[in-house]
Structure 1
Amino acid sequence: MSTLPSRRAFGGLLGSTAAAATLPAPSAAATERSFRAAPERDSARPNILCILADDLGWADLTCFGSPTINTPRLDRLARQGVRFTQAYAGSSTCSPTRFALYTGRYPGRCAGGLAEPIADSTAGLDPGHPTLASLLREAGYDTALIGKWHCGYLPDFSPTRSGWNTFFGNLGGALEYYSKIGVRGEYDLYEGDATYQDLRYYTRVLTERAVEHVGTREAGTPWLLNLNFTTPHWPWIAEGDEAEGAEIVRRLRDGDSRALFHLDGGSLEKYAEMVEDLDRSVGLVLDALAASGQQRDTLVFFGSDNGGERWSHQWPLSGEKASLQEGGIRIPQIVRWPARLDGGQVSHLPNYSPDWTATLLELAGARPDPGHPLDGHSLAGYLLRGEAPPERDMFWRVRAERALRRGDWKYHRDEAGGEHLYNVEEDPRERADRAIAEPELFADLRSTWEAIDAGLLPYPD
């Protein structure tokens, strides 16, 4: 068991990491090679540290091409692991993606997954539905969720009702970073199912709790930690912006229900500040993991819950959060597991959230529930044994749009009802519509989408 830093020492670590973050970081692409499995290796079941950023765009990290945001700690994670260039979220907004990751199934399999996103107490993840956490717990894992849940509110829904042994974080989709006032106008920081008072900057609070949690894991018991930051989700408030936060709270209390959306706030510079703070925070958690002696046997997964929003850099992708264009669903993704995966690698394998549920269950020796079959496909054979990746279609559905990807091709129906076919490998910006030139493929992908959709719950009127 490692010795935790004091709060003063924690602040010192943050300061030294912040200084390091001002140095230019080389792109991971400069030295990485195409992914190749190392099947001769063997290891025990991994610990799993699954880190989600919130509304982080595909190219918002230096190692994914950001020209202005400096992310040396995440760049280093990429150099130590595998960078996935064609990774996708399970949906284009917060709640449905979390349903997809937690259940390994299309969000439309669950009534709560139809909310895009969840905004009231009527919808949530059914506590009786098996989850990544509940299945890993049955396999002997200690399970915890720190940060944003966004799969339903108390009294009916919470992480502790869905398989996580411990929970510390917020139940809703967003909050003001200091007051912890959430989208429903209520205080939204919990430890377990009880409110927890801490008015410091939220990213700092989550980071400190995650550092503590990682450092106190007992050897011999594998663990899962879902670490879900709200950074860089609106409101765009960095550490030190207490006055800006207080003004948002004042407007909320005066009846401005949209104040938290921060439509009149933020900037490119403020967004960069928040992403760079996320980078420092992830770095502190990874430092704690290394200090605990568990780094070699811990699989670290880093991604985002959907594409970026107003201030995000996503070039060359089109669209943003809430859209099924590439910019709304393609995300930065990094995976590191020193015991089994060589570092300095890049994979262009298309994958998305439900695949990682299936993958993590297989790596942990946990069995999916036969009554709730997974829609994701395990990548364990590809990652560990050099097997060909699974051949399957990736499916997305939101009220106004539909999309399906097969190989290099993507079928997309936009909000206006226009239907398109793109080769997103050659045309990631989705500009060259090939629907007329490839009528049979277009019809096949559309009919496949409709067949999958027919097996899902309909949206309520």
Structure 2
Amino acid sequence: MSIGLSRAESKPNIIVIYTDDQGYGDVSALNPDAKFKTPNLDRLVHEGIAFTNGHSPDSVCTPSRYGLLTGRYPWRTERKSGVLGAEAKCMIADGRMTLASLLKEHGYHTGMVGKWHLGMDFPGTPKDRDWTQPVKDMPLDKGFDYFYGVPASLNFGVLAWFEGRYAKVPPTLYTNKKKNPLYLDYRIMPPYETEPGKSTDPTRIVKTNFEVAEDFIDNQCLTRFTDKAIEWMATKSDDAKSGKPFFLYLPYTSPHYPVCPLPEFQGQGEAGAYGEFVIETDFHVGRIMEFLEAEGLDENTLIVYTSDNGPEKSWPSRLKETGHDSRGGFRMGKRSVYEGGHRVPFLVRWPAGIAEPGRAWNGVVGQTDLLATFSDLIGQQLPDSAGEDSQSFAAVLRDPKTEYERLPLINRSNESGDGRYAITDGNWKLILPKGKFKPELYDLAADPAETKNLAEQQPEKVQQLQKSITDIVVKGRTTPGATQPNDTGYWKELSWMSIADFEK
């Protein structure tokens, strides 16, 4: 049943802030042992709902972004693992419903500011560009009215400040990773080179080149993105007050490499440059909230804050050197099928719409659920061909005592040579067997760190969960409705099931 709002003017403005490689333990309100403070993120916790069992659709960037925007698992597409480069066929097929296209269809202004990383079609080839021509197969073709941002993670290149389909300063120079004096990763910063050949710059870590604009510098991303987000929202403020709300998708590039906090944040916290970078991110979230309050939009703006996967593999050294656990005590981090790979901060604040704010919800939710939740909130139903793995958790916002339970949730490893799948149903999580890996079964209520494999003691539970994930894969959907096709036939990572099972 929909709990949609009865008056059009009551539809909330919606902001989805998506960070990059931020672990569950990188929010101080969620981690009492955190070595830095995140007061603005903590405010989202104290004034909203902390979904403490919230999950990204995958354990790396590109597929998680697909799942977030479409409400469909990314492994149903042709891309079964890994991430896209800056230039690629967009992973979101033409005509596939997204958060933006849903809300645009129902009267919203729709804007995106930040990192896309789902593929774009640039004019020409790297050897023969014509930057007077428009970029295609990009956010403006997937439901967004406005776009400002970068194509992908900064290490993939084609770096410029794109607005709409064009870069004001085109990426006609060349560079690659340079030494980072603050951290163990790299920087993308001038001086840049005019020739595409290999570099002899002694500060360069990688000598091959990618395309970059002369005015691009990595540590300006968070400031520019927040400035542009506020600028765009300001142009929609009057409409929002008179019944035409806005949707803003704000995917930040932090705390993904390069870790490059601005000088004014250096020295803050006790977790080095990484902590400083998260502190800077928190500062910009505060700027968004200050704008909403100043414009009188705060009360009826729903903010979702979450991350695309768990922390990068620098988390062990950070834990050892500073005592800060970016995983928040969960097992492993980015790329892993274990909880640390996909259990992430998942915070929702909406003063006008959340009953009893300041509470935690410990039941399972996924980022794929945003499409159905937003559809529910505006009083709409999704067609069978959209949001196949999206289940509305709107009831949790309205009713602290709701008996809402998430249908089984699927996650996946993106470690090279691993490619394991997991299914979580309530407190039980099964990691499916693959090659040398045997099945692993965990009771997450008793063992959230996944230390005790109960597969041998609970063979019936293993069999039950294996049947559930097989059904979800084969039916092309998690939710009730007509069976939908996956985009490919059987693929090798479905090692627990046969081709005959898949084709039933």
Corresponding position of 1:140: 107
Name the CA distance, whole Å, in 1 between partners of 2:406 and 2:492.
32
Deviation at 1:92, TM superposition (A): 0.7
Name the CA distance, whole Å, in 1 between partners of 2:12 and 2:254.
27
Identity of aligned residues (%): 31
Q: Is the 8 A contact 2:432 2:466 kept in 1?
A: no
Corresponding position of 1:357: 371
Name the CA distance, whole Å, in 2 between partners of 1:104 and 1:373.
4
Corresponding position of 1:31: none
Q: Is the 8 A contact 1:99 1:107 kept in 2?
A: yes
- CA change 1:224–1:459 in 2 (3 A) is farther
Deviation at 1:358, TM superposition (A): 0.8
Name the CA distance, whole Å, in 2 between partners of 1:115 and 1:423.
27
AA aligned to 1:212 is: E
- CA change 1:414–1:302 in 2 (3 A) is farther
AA aligned to 1:83 is: A
Which stretches in structure 1 are left out of the alignment for 5+ residues?
1-37, 176-181, 242-266
Corresponding position of 1:102: 69
2:453 aligned with 1:433, yes or no? Answer: yes
1:183-204 deviations in Å (ceiling 9; x for gaps): 1x32243111111445351111
Corresponding position of 1:388: 403
Corresponding position of 2:393: 379
Map 1:206-221 onto structure 2 (within 5 A).
206-217=225-236, 218=239, 219=241, 220-221=243-244
Q: Is the 8 A contact 2:429 2:444 kept in 1?
A: yes
Which stretches in structure 2 are left out of the alignment for 5+ residues?
123-135, 170-214, 265-269, 316-325, 477-485, 494-504
Deviation at 1:376, TM superposition (A): 1.3
Deviation at 1:240, TM superposition (A): 4.2
Corresponding position of 1:4: none
Name the CA distance, whole Å, in 2 between partners of 1:413 and 1:319.
17
Q: Is the 8 A contact 1:169 1:206 kept in 2?
A: yes
Name the CA distance, whole Å, in 1 between partners of 2:151 and 2:381.
28
1:386-417 deviations in Å (ceiling 9; x for gaps): 53213410012356111000010000137742
2:273 aligned with 1:270, yes or no? Answer: yes
1:228 to 242, 246, 251: 251
- CA change 1:41–1:280 in 2 (3 A) is farther
Name the CA distance, whole Å, in 1 between partners of 2:65 and 2:330.
23
Name the CA distance, whole Å, in 2 between partners of 1:46 and 1:110.
31
2:167 to 195, 198, 214: 195
Corresponding position of 1:318: 331
AA aligned to 1:358 is: A
AA aligned to 2:250 is: L
Deviation at 1:306, TM superposition (A): 0.8
Map 1:280-359 onto structure 2 (within 5 A).
280-312=283-315, 313-341=326-354, 342-359=356-373
2:140 to 160, 183, 201: 160
Aligned length: 390
Name the CA distance, whole Å, in 1 between partners of 2:166 and 2:44.
35
TM-score for both structures, normalised by structure 2: 0.73
- CA change 1:87–1:368 in 2 (3 A) is same
Name the CA distance, whole Å, in 1 between partners of 2:160 and 2:344.
27
Name the CA distance, whole Å, in 1 between partners of 2:433 and 2:225.
37
1:233-280 deviations in Å (ceiling 9; x for gaps): 011222249xxxxxxxxxxxxxxxxxxxxxxxxx94010010000000
1:30-58 deviations in Å (ceiling 9; x for gaps): xxxxxxxx999998111101101110001
Deviation at 1:348, TM superposition (A): 0.8
2:24 partner SS: coil
1:211 partner SS: helix
1:91 partner SS: coil
Name the CA distance, whole Å, in 2 between partners of 1:459 and 1:233.
30
AA aligned to 1:232 is: P
Name the CA distance, whole Å, in 2 between partners of 1:166 and 1:229.
16
1:377 partner SS: coil
- CA change 1:140–1:118 in 2 (3 A) is same
2:64 partner SS: helix
Of structures 1 and 2, the larger Rg is shown by: 2
AA aligned to 2:25 is: A
Map 1:71-86 onto structure 2 (within 5 A).
71-86=38-53
Name the CA distance, whole Å, in 1 between partners of 2:464 and 2:45.
37
Name the CA distance, whole Å, in 2 between partners of 1:398 and 1:420.
14
- CA change 1:39–1:274 in 2 (3 A) is same
1:186 to 139, 142, 158: 158
AA aligned to 1:382 is: V
AA aligned to 1:349 is: G
2:386 partner SS: coil
Name the CA distance, whole Å, in 1 between partners of 2:471 and 2:4.
37
Instruction: Detail structure 1 runs of 4+ shifted over 6 Å in the superposition.
Output: 38-43
1:273-325 deviations in Å (ceiling 9; x for gaps): 10000000110011111111111111011011111113442132111111110
Name the CA distance, whole Å, in 1 between partners of 2:89 and 2:492.
13
Corresponding position of 1:368: 382
